[in-house]
Amino acid sequence: MIPVTDRIRQSLVSLHMARALETLDQTLSQLERGEISAIEAIDALLAEELNLREGRRIGVALRTARLMPIKTLESFDFSFQPSLDRNRIMALAQLEFIKRAEVLHFLGPPGTGKSHLATAIGVAAVKAGRSVYRCSLAELIEALTKAEREGRLGEKIRFYARASLLIVDEIGYLPITSGGANLFFQLVNARYEKGAMILTSNRGFAEWGEIFGDPVVATALLDRLLHHAVVVQIEGASYRLRHHADLIPEHTRSHATITPPPPPKRRGRPPKNGGAHHMHG
Ligand code: ADP
Ligand code: MG
């Protein structure tokens, strides 16, 4: 007759529970020494296996989501950015906005932590089991343009529409062609009221006509992207340049506020200037 411990070993092999198998001997000897109860032994084995798998899942998901290098809210120094309401960011990291398929905007000058915060919330979402994908607007438009050229646009839009959170970083750094703006609009339309987004930009909404090279498309984009939206505006100094204050010309020292959004369109209310505001159409 096979001893019970050998049978457990075989079962763990068949179930591909490598980590539990690895810790079995140690757990059994603790059990023999009377250091733990049988129920604690079962608990320890399962917890070891689960921890390993969860860690592996998160690692794979973070890479797939393109959230490397990882940023966290714990590593964000809120005292450096006093215009930012820490409680508000922590509330957003509870991820209810993802369930409500809302759009979260981070606006502010370069180096104020927009990408850091967007990534950190993305990391929190991955840990909570949400599917996330991050890219810059330029990468997104390049991929859509390529897909369109190859006759795979529908497929590509479905790919970008699939994640429950899509992070589009760096809106406003590079000008977009009207073809590119059109492709971005198609994607935004596909996600509208279905999936959450985080957008980061160094430019105010009033400048979107200029960024997207077409005021009509920009208006249509903003119409959807501000309908169920949270706007967090950061007004502060660049963290990148924090040790080089003397090298920065006075006029770029980032009190430069971002132009407020244009007046209300068909629906929704735009945010007032400064701070974060909830808008529900
Ligand atoms: P932005 O996207 O607004 O231009 P980033 O989020 O990329 O700025 O920030 C630039 C660098 O500074 C990143 O490495 C980021 O992790 C770091 N950083 C920015 N703000 C903070 C902060 N308040 N605390 C800690 N690190 C920060
Ligand atoms: Mg950035």
- 140 CA distance to ligand 1 centroid (A)? 22
**Surface-to-core class of residue 106, CB atoms within 10 Å of its CB (0-12 exposed, 13-18 middle, 19+ buried):** buried
In this structure, which residue's CA is closest to atom 21 in ligand 1?
Answer: 113
The full set of domains in the chain, from first to last, is 4-64 (no CATH), 78-267 (3.40.50.300)
pLDDT exceeds 50 at position 205: yes
Is residue 171 within 8 Å of 199, Cβ to Cβ? yes
User: pLDDT tens for residues 118-170?
Assistant: 999 999 999 999 999 999 999 999 999 999 999 999 999 999 999 999 999 99
Residue 251 has a pLDDT of 54
Question: Percent of the chain, pLDDT > 90?
Answer: 83
pLDDT exceeds 60 at position 275: no
User: pLDDT tens for residues 209-237?
Assistant: 999 999 999 999 999 999 999 999 999 88
Question: Percent of the chain, pLDDT > 70?
Answer: 87
CB-CB neighbours of 36 under 10 Å: 16
* Residue 255 banded pLDDT, cuts 50, 70, 90: very low
pLDDT exceeds 60 at position 55: yes
State the pTM of this model.
0.84
Q: Which residues line ligand 1 (CB under 6 A)?
A: 71, 76-77, 80-81, 108, 110-116, 200, 239-240
Whole-number CA gyration radius for the chain: 24
Phi, psi of 233 (to 5 degrees): -105, 125
